[in-house]
């Protein structure tokens, strides 16, 4: 496994930024490598040093974003917020924080001709996270189909994030968190993060 140097990452980040800008302007499909290097202000050779083609690059960006979400969930409690977390666990804050911090990129879900596969992979990542990192307790003794339940919760949370993104992040991060808490009080009362047990 090769480590990527700081310099290489810097260059790749410039390309990712350029790609995102161009997707918003003209859509993914019509973008050429020439467009990319002009936007990013690099030589065409430089692009090929880092990527084989624009699809590899799009994958790289997409994986980075999805991986970032997963990492956010696993963050230790250092960065815990000074907010009443009675009903919402820390991981949810970290996810929201990460999305907001990377909002320029997550904004890509507002476009149709965007990172290939993003519209499927992003909700799927939320599902994954709920499957792998969260445990639930049922309230009362009525039996629940846990698989359905996780789908329900995961996609519900994704829906909230989605509407926040689609609204152009009108609400501040803190306002949004409060909204989510209010909603969770009525609907996801039983969520428990494994790390909390």
Partner DNA sequence: TAACATTTGTCTATTGTTTAGACAGATCAA
Partner DNA sequence: TTGATCTGTCTAAACAATAGACAAATGTTA
Beta-carbon contacts of 108 under 8 Å, excluding residues fewer than 6 positions away, are: 20, 23, 24, 114, 115, 118
Is residue 196 within 8 Å of 89, Cβ to Cβ?
Answer: yes
Eight-state DSSP code of residue 109: G
Determine how many CB atoms are found less than 10 A away from the CB of residue 33.
14
Count of residues that bind DNA according to CB under 7 A:
21
Interatomic CA distance for residues 191 and 73, integer angstroms: 14
Of 24, 50, 103, 151, which one interacts with DNA (CB under 7 A)?
A: 50
Residue in 98, 151, 110, 161 with CA at minimum distance from that of residue 129: 151
* Partner touching 45 among a copy of itself, DNA, none, CB below 5 to 8 Å by kind: DNA
Q: Which one of DNA, a copy of itself, none interacts with residue 34, CB within 5 to 8 A by kind?
A: DNA
Tokens of 114: 């965007």
Residue that the structure tokens 């995961």 belong to: 154
Nearest to 122 by CA among 176, 67, 79, 71: 67
Could you tell which of DNA, a copy of itself, none binds residue 44, using a CB distance below 5 to 8 A set by kind? DNA
Q: Quick check: 53 binds DNA (CB under 7 A)? A: yes
Whichever of 50 and 81 has its CB closer to DNA, that residue is 50
Interaction residues for DNA, span 54-73 (CB under 7 A): 54
- Please choose, out of 45-53, 58-66, 126-134, 152-160, the segment that lies near DNA by the rule CB under 7 A: 45-53
Q: Which is nearer to DNA, 6 or 197 (CB)?
A: 6
Q: Does 2 contact DNA by CB under 7 A?
A: no
Q: Which is nearer to DNA, 15 or 130 (CB)?
A: 15
- In DSSP terms, 193 is beta-bridged to 134
Task: Tell me which residues touch a copy of itself (CB under 8 A).
Answer: 6, 10, 14, 41
Give the binding site for DNA (CB under 7 A): 5-8, 10-11, 32-34, 41-46, 48-50, 52-54
């Amino acid at each position: 496994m090769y480590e990527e140097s700081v310099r290489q990452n810097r260059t790749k980040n410039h390309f990712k930024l350029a790609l995102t800008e161009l997707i918003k302007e003209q859509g993914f499909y019509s973008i050429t490598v020439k467009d990319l290097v002009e936007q990013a202000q690099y030589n065409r050779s430089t692009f090929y040093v880092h990527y084989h083609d624009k699809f590899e690059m799009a994958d790289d960006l997409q994986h980075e974003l999805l991986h970032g979400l997963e990492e956010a969930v696993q963050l230790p409690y250092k960065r815990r917020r000074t907010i009443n977390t009675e009903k919402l666990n820390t991981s949810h804050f970290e996810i929201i924080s990460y999305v907001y911090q990377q909002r320029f990129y997550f904004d890509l879900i507002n476009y149709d001709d965007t990172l290939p596969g993003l519209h499927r992979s992003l909700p799927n990542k939320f599902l994954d996270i709920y499957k792998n990192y969260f445990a639930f307790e049922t309230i009362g003794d009525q039996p629940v189909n846990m698989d359905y339940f996780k789908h329900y919760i995961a996609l519900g949370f994704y829906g909230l994030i989605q509407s926040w993104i689609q609204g152009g992040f009108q609400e501040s991060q803190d306002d949004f968190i409060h909204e989510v808490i209010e909603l969770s009080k009525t609907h996801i009362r039983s969520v428990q993060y494994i790390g909390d047990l």
